[in-house]
Amino acid sequence: MPSNAERDFDLNLFYDILRIRLVEGEIAKRYADQEMRCPVHLSIGQEAAAVGVCAALTRQDRMFSTHRCHAHYLAKGGNLKAMLAEIHGKASGCVGGRGGSMHLQDIPAGLMASVPIVGGSIPMAVGTALADSLDGVDTVSVACFGDAATEEGVFHESMNFAQLRKLPVLFVCENNLYSVYTPLAQRQPARPLTDYAKAHAMTAIAADGNDVFAVHAAAAAAVRRARAGAGPTLLVLDTYRWLEHCGPSFDNHIGYRSEEEYLGWRAQDPLERLRHHLTGQGALDAAAEARMTEAIMAEVDQAFDYARDEPLPAPAQAREHVYAR
């Protein structure tokens, strides 16, 4: 039987996945109200990747995300009210209402930046890892990206430099099999994405991205290597987004993926898999989950009310933060 500490840890994983699922579900539900006027790239179906990795990090560790950043932001401890205010374009948003959904940031929580340019987050994480290495601190940096970013030159340049300098950085590839509408099989030869690491003599770990325990184990091993001075690790986490590339809806009807493929991945729902595990251990029951859901939805409703009621940025501030001085 797991110890009380282990059970609490597992329940926290479940809570975090459930929270992300409910937050993004509410974003999808309310998006048609047209109060959120920025694009949204939802992580529903992919939550275990973010939660498992972040569970292996400290608050001081730095993470850099992508256009699909909500799950990373929340799993790393980002402020929900500031996130929703940002998506609503409000002055109290996490970047002042200037960036929207694709530019979330919470520096105190260690979510340093979200960059919608494909591959753009990767060299930033290498940069903070280099700074920490020079400063002699054991903080770890994490670059999150999708499978399409492995086709960008900056991915390879960053991998090469990080391995050369033995930097404390994790390259976390969330492989959801698609670059917008183009499947991986039409973009790359048939070989594991972990093979990229071989070109740079780098350690690579593949894990089931829908199994939060497998993700956490892989990330924890990579973090231990990084803190011990053993250098970077490439993590490849196979997962699948349920909704359209950009937006709140399902899009299987447009033909780039089959309903059969979608249903196969839907059956690997990371939330349901963890629920099944916890109920089997007697750590979770319907009443306990209902209490979690009630608490989360109360938080979510308050955050949406806050975002709706906050003021827009003042027009006079439009030219601020445009150029560095």
Give the pairing type, strands 169-175 and 141-146.
parallel
**Do the beta carbons of residue 170 and residue 163 sit within 8 Å?**
no
- Secondary structure (DSSP) of 80-128: HHHHHHHHTT-TTSTTTTSSGGGG--BGGGTEEEE--STTTHHHHHHHH
How confident is the prediction for the chain on average, in pLDDT?
96
User: For residue 239, what pLDDT band results from cuts at 50, 70 and 90?
Assistant: very high
Mean pLDDT (whole number) for 104-109: 98
Q: What are phi and psi of 124, to 5 degrees?
A: -65, -40
Indicate the range of 170-174, 237-241, 315-319 predicted with least confidence.
315-319
176 CB-near residues (< 8 Å, 6+ apart): 46, 146, 147, 239, 240, 241
Secondary structure class of 308 (helix, strand, coil) = helix
Question: Which pLDDT score, from 0 to 100, does residue 325 have?
Answer: 64
Question: Which pLDDT score, from 0 to 100, does residue 320 have?
Answer: 85
Closest by CA to 194, choosing from 211, 210, 213, 173, is 173
User: For residue 7, what pLDDT band results from cuts at 50, 70 and 90?
Assistant: very high
List pLDDT tens digits, range 17-58.
999 999 999 999 999 999 999 999 999 999 999 999 999 999
| pTM score of the predicted model | 0.96
153 CB-near residues (< 8 Å, 6+ apart): none
Mean pLDDT (whole number) for 219-230: 98
How far apart are alpha carbons 292 and 284 in whole angstroms?
A: 11
274 pLDDT above the threshold of 70: yes
- In the chain, what is the greatest distance between 2 CA atoms, to the nearest angstrom? 61
Mean pLDDT (whole number) for 111-120: 96
**Do the beta carbons of residue 25 and residue 31 sit within 8 Å?**
no
How large is the C-alpha radius of gyration of the chain? Answer: 19
